[in-house]
Structure 1
Amino acid sequence: MDPNLPHRSSPRWRPASRLLVWAAILLGSAAANAVVEVMDAQRRGEALALWEPMTWELSSAGMILLTLPLLWWGCQRWPLHADTWRRRLPLYLAASVAWSLLHVVGMMLLRHLAYASVGEHYVDGSSWPTRLLYEYLKDVRAFFSFVAIEHFFSWFGRRRQGEAHLLAAPEDAPPVEPVDRPERFLVRKLGRDFLVATCDIEYAQAAGNYMNLRVRGHDYPLRSTLAALEARLDPARFVRIHRSYLLNLAVLVSIEPLDSGEARVHLADGTVLPCSRRQLPGLRAALGHGGAADALPSAAPAGAST
């Protein structure tokens, strides 16, 4: 296991699951379209073997599936929000042209290979400029449909996951709690607000320009830096164990030293987090000052005999 990653991940719709869903949709649609092609040919009195329309449809669906992860990456890298969509729309239009070109070139290559494998020669019947324009007029609709669906599920996922905020002081009254030591966080989820006690936060993980607060198996993004949050939390309860992790000592079960001088920390729910060599002395000191060093079991070093 990579010691830089938590042992458990938050429940999300992972890319592999999404790809399987889209594979079922696209391949099922391809098979249905191929059967319709054969039925239309029979109605016109023409002979058309099923393998030919299946090759046409599956080559297109296959290239879409191969390029979907790239499209999803682009949506995450350049998300569309109310204040950014106008500026990023030209970028998405340019990406749709590149995506269509990749789709068409790959699709045609697969068709030529499939026909050659059975001793046939694939004939398109149209020039490349005509083919590219024809395919782009179809692909641009599919491209923006995928983009819209991806952004919808990202938005819905954020709504379902929730987002944490520090409680703000009322404008016409004193703060309800000490500003430098917040006792609660406001979590907005599915249009409702919830108060989360600071002591219920198991750990905080840095993630770019924000962080994830782990609370009872769920991650809540908080727009702050780890250093800023660390400065506001009680140092007797929350300790930095890694440049990317701030740990609540109340959920710590054991420390597993590693031969490299680093360590893994085991939490009550089974999660395993990394502890850097630089932060390990501070963690042990915090436990010693809290009187919990003797009560805390320490696992044997990795690879050592017991």
Structure 2
Amino acid sequence: MTLERYLAIRRYIEVGFWGALFSIIFVSETAVQIIDVNRLGLGYQAWEVICWEGTSIFTLLLLVPVLLFFDRRYPLRWSNLARAIPAHILFSVLFSALHVSIMVAMRKLIYWFNNSYYDFGNVAEQFVYEYLKDFRTYALSLALIYLYRHVVLRLQGEASLLSEPDVGLNAEPSEQPERILVKKLGREFLIVVNDIERIEASGNYVNLHIGDRVYPLRETMTKIEQRLNNKQFKRIHRSHIINLDYLQEIIPLESGDAQVVVKAGAILPMSRTYRNAVAEAV
């Protein structure tokens, strides 16, 4: 599978990865717990052990998107660790509280269906115990997320705006740069800004689309828009900017919004807020 093909279906693979990972953890943890219950003669039934592990793992899986959302708001970068680390530590408490609350509610419901009663025990004592486990899970999940991102960015190549002229690269610093530096697998090369077909918001990055290649740039949509030639690049949506040279068709919608078809075949949403400005420019 090529990198471009993978990036096109990466969301499905990422969802599948988390599902497979937590399924493996569920099966292994459940098997160990059942063996321990039988070995120690604790008297619990198999369905109870499955209930404990299943509700815990399933709730953690549900909270992965919450973790990803928070990390987009407070990414762990060298430039903002003093702010991001305390934020993540505080959020880990909320993360654990959500995990425990949903998990206990599900267990009580399952026990009720089995004509039994689930006792969580002393709330304060049990929450401290669960938080220590949840913090470990939280930290390991973040480590996996950042390792994965690092590998993808290394393969994909990360773009950066030029702020100073690079010797031998024929690049001039400008409020509207003509070239963007890309670092990929230890190599550096330049891409021409006018070759960018469209720009799409993606978390803490914007993705620069050139043909079937996608280069992530650590920048906001607002700031990158300010650095581009506004006669050639137009904002069509809060998450999309297009190069008018690659605009193929505008399809009006009854809502007042529209859809934009670019020459590469992608169909993008256009907000009514930007529709008139684009129509005037073309």
Q: TM class, shorter-chain normalised? A: 0.7 to 0.9
The answer on whether the counterparts of 2:248 and 2:260 sit within 8 Å (CA) in structure 1 is yes
Counterpart check, 1:13 vs 2:10: yes
Q: TM-score, normalised by structure 2?
A: 0.78
User: Aligned partners of 2:21, 2:65: CA distance in 1, in Å?
Assistant: 16
- TM-score w.r.t. the length of structure 1 is 0.72
Instruction: Count residues with an aligned counterpart.
Output: 266
Quote the residue 2:279 is aligned against.
280
| Secondary structure of residue in 1 paired with 2:10 | coil
Match of 2:138 among 140, 143, 151: 143
Q: Please tell me the root mean square deviation across aligned C-alpha atoms, in Å.
A: 3.4
- Identify if the C-alpha distance between structure 1 residues 11 and 44 changes in structure 2 by more than 3 Å, giving closer, same or farther: same
Please list the CA deviations of residues 83-142 of structure 1 after superposition, one character each: whole Å capped at 9, or x if unmatched. 211332222111111211221122122111111101112234x42222111111211111
1:160–1:167 distance in 2 versus 1, CA, 3 Å: farther
Indicate whether 1:129 and 2:133 are aligned: no
Equivalent-residue separation in structure 2 for 1:163 and 1:203 (angstroms)? 14
1:227 aligns with 2:226: yes
Unaligned runs of 5+ in 1: 1-9, 284-306
Q: Structure 1 residue 239: deviation in Å?
A: 5.1
Among candidates 152, 156, 181, match of residue 186 of structure 1: 181
- Pair 1:41-2:37 in alignment: yes
Give the Å deviation of 1:179. 5.7
Structure of larger gyration radius: 1
What SS class does the counterpart of residue 245 from structure 1 fall into? strand
Q: Does 1:98 align with 2:94?
A: yes
Please give the alpha-carbon distance, in whole angstroms, between the structure 1 residues aligned to 2:155 and 2:256. 40
State the SS of the aligned residue for 1:109: helix
Q: Does 1:159 align with 2:158?
A: no
Distance 1:127 1:176, change over 3 A: closer
3-state SS of paired residue (1:277): helix
Q: Which amino acid aligns with 1:11?
A: A
- Determine the C-alpha separation between the residues in 1 that align with 2:114 and 2:151: 47
Shift of 1:174: 11
Judged with a 3 Å threshold, the aligned counterparts in structure 2 of structure 1 residues 49 and 155 are, in CA distance, closer, same or farther, namely: same
Alpha-carbon distance in structure 2 between the residues aligned to 1:261 and 1:92 = 41
- 1:194–1:11 Cα change, 3 Å: farther
Shift of 1:70: 0.7
Alignment of 1:1-306 (within 5 A): 11=8, 13-14=10-11, 17-45=13-41, 47-124=43-120, 126-161=121-156, 162-166=158-162, 168-170=164-166, 184-205=179-200, 211-222=206-217, 223=219, 224-230=223-229, 235=231, 238=232, 240=234, 242=236, 244-249=240-245, 251-257=246-252, 264-273=259-268, 274=270, 276-283=275-282
> Where is the helix percentage greater, Structure 1 or Structure 2?
2
Q: 1:241-265 CA distances to partner (integer Å, 9 max, x unpaired)?
A: 636524141x344444556776544
Report the Cα distance in structure 2 between the residues aligned to 1:123 and 1:197, rounded to whole angstroms.
64
| Alpha-carbon distance in structure 1 between the residues aligned to 2:204 and 2:85 | 24
Q: Which has the higher contact order (CA 8 A, sep 6+)?
A: 1
Gaps of 5+ in 2: 1-6
* Whole-Å separation in 1 of the counterparts to 2:94 and 2:169: 56
- Percent identity, aligned pairs only, is 30
- CA deviation string 1:216-238 (max 9, x = no partner): 1233345443133115xxx5xx3
Give SS of 1:194's match: strand
Q: Is the 8 A contact 2:177 2:227 kept in 1?
A: no
Question: What SS does the aligned partner of 1:187 have?
Answer: strand
Q: Over residues 28-66 of structure 1, what are the superposed CA-to-partner deviations in whole Å (9 max), with x where a residue is unaligned?
A: 322232222222333334554321100010011111112
